[in-house]
């Protein structure tokens, strides 16, 4: 089954009770049993729910995995992955990553004796220098948030397998429409399904997809034991979003290309970060492992001026100044004061998240309106 068909039918079937095409919202916390332990596969809403199950099956189908898990947020999904580890274990993570992930790693799990190494991974050969007998996990984002760096998943996976280390890939920016990390050798794929998977800025959710049953069983246990699951209404909304993922992503990519090229040619713009530009450092890797280049763009104006960046985002009219990304509407953000504010300034600036950096999530509006909006904001 090809991807565009999977978004409609993958891992799903009409409801067995009455044939409903969309899975009904089973808004219940518990299920009747005929005898103690005698139930129809559902006993308690934290463990299983008939709306969440088809969502998890659909997620697995999209990523060519065998097992899908849905959580109450992207960070809850990441939390479950780190709970596979124990005190004394070590994680190698890309240094350019979402601020909430960095905060979870450094402010929560370092307190439990897990050590994190934050390194540049654009050159995968950097990784092996940090591997030792305690290394249990390699954590990557690609493209990264917000610098749009591209990491070679296939090469990183080969390194991980050589040393018997789990490789987890945050695939939020690309979505399975653009890249499928499990096919390239990753062990776990993570999504903030709040973003492109849901696609309409109306839910908060996380997702994991794996192929290996042993890893899946451990994650299912953590999901149930820790309880950070998503509710049936959000599961329904995510399923609805998945059905238009392919057509939305096509427009995100088309608009993203036009805007990246517009900004790259603008006299007031110093640098544009988008994997589809030929001067992107890992453009060739992006071409190899991605089917297109997405709708996430970051840029810096000439002068590298904080006040100028703030003025630009405040003057946008069609773009909304807001946290998050991946919805049908275009959003603009200032990472240093918003999504990455929890990362110390010196650490941020080492990876390129300077005070003048602006991040755009390109929506599916008419691209001429978006370019006109950027033009008027940049002119001020």
Among residues 15, 46, 287, 304, the one annotated as catalytic is 46
Among residues 152, 170, 292, 373, the one annotated as catalytic is 170
Compute the distance between CA of residue 322 and CA of residue 242 in angstroms, rounded to an integer: 23
CB contact set of 363 (below 8 Å; sequence gap of 6+) = 252, 255, 295, 327, 328, 329, 330, 331, 370
Cross-strand partners of 209: 68, 189
Which DSSP letter does residue 138 get? E
Q: Is 98 a catalytic residue?
A: yes
Nearest Cα neighbor of 104 from 78, 84, 65 is 78
Q: Which helix (H) or strand (E) holds 99?
A: helix 99-103
Q: Is 18 a catalytic residue?
A: no
What sign does the dihedral 326-327-330-332 (CA atoms) show? negative
Nearest Cα neighbor of 339 from 96, 119, 122, 125 is 96
- H runs (alpha helix) in 265-337: 283-289, 306-315
Cβ–Cβ under 8 Å, residues 300 and 350: no
Nearest Cα neighbor of 187 from 211, 217, 151, 153 is 211
CB-count burial class (<10 Å; 0-12, 13-18, 19+) for 62: buried
CA dihedral of 218, 222, 223, 225, whole degrees rounded to 10: 130
Largest Cα–Cα distance of the chain, in whole Å? 73
Nearest Cα neighbor of 174 from 256, 60, 235 is 256
Nearest Cα neighbor of 56 from 224, 254, 258 is 224
Among residues 180, 195, 248, 257, the one annotated as catalytic is 195
Q: Is 107 a catalytic residue?
A: no
Neighbours of 32 (CB within 10 A): 10
Q: Is 136 a catalytic residue?
A: no
Among residues 6, 79, 96, 98, the one annotated as catalytic is 98
Which DSSP letter does residue 113 get? T
Cross-strand partners of 211: none
User: What are the residue numbers of the active site?
Assistant: 46, 98, 170, 195
């Amino acid at each position: 089954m090809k991807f565009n068909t999977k978004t409609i039918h993958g891992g799903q079937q009409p409801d067995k009770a009455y044939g409903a095409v969309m899975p009904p919202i089973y808004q219940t916390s518990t299920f009747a049993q005929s005898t103690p332990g005698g139930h129809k596969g559902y006993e308690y809403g934290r463990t299983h729910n008939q709306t969440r199950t088809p969502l998890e099956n659909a997620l697995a189908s999209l990523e060519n995995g065998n097992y899908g898990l849905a959580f109450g947020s992207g960070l809850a999904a990441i939390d479950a992955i780190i709970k596979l580890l124990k005190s004394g274990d070590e994680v190698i993570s890309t240094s350019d990553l979402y601020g909430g992930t960095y905060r979870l790693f450094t402010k929560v799990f370092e307190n439990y004796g897990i050590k994190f190494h934050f390194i540049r991974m654009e050159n995968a050969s950097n990784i092996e220098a940090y591997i030792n007998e305690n290394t249990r996990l390699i954590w990557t984002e690609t493209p990264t948030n917000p610098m749009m760096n591209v990491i070679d998943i296939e090469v990183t996976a080969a390194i991980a397998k050589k040393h018997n280390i789990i490789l987890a890939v945050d695939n939020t920016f690309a979505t399975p429409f653009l890249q499928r990390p499990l096919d390239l050798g990753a062990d776990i794929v993570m999504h903030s399904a709040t973003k492109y998977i849901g696609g309409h800025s109306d839910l908060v959710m996380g997702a994991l997809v794996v192929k290996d049953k042993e890893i899946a069983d451990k994650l299912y246990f953590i999901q149930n034991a820790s309880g950070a699951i998503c509710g049936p209404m959000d599961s329904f909304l995510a399923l609805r979003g998945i059905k238009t993922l392919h057509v939305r992503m096509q427009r995100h990519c088309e608009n993203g290309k036009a805007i990246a090229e517009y900004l790259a040619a603008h006299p007031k713009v110093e640098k544009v970060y988008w994997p589809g530009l030929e001067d992107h450092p890992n453009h060739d890797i992006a071409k190899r492992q991605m089917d297109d280049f997405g709708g996430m763009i970051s840029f810096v104006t000439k002068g590298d001026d904080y006040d100028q960046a703030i003025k630009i985002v405040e003057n946008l009219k069609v773009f909304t100044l807001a946290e998050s990304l991946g919805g049908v509407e275009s959003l603009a953000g200032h990472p240093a004061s918003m999504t990455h504010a929890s990362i110390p300034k010196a650490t941020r600036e080492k990876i390129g998240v300077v005070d003048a950096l602006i991040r755009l999530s390109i929506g599916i509006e008419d691209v001429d309106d978006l370019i006109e909006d950027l033009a008027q904001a940049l002119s001020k």
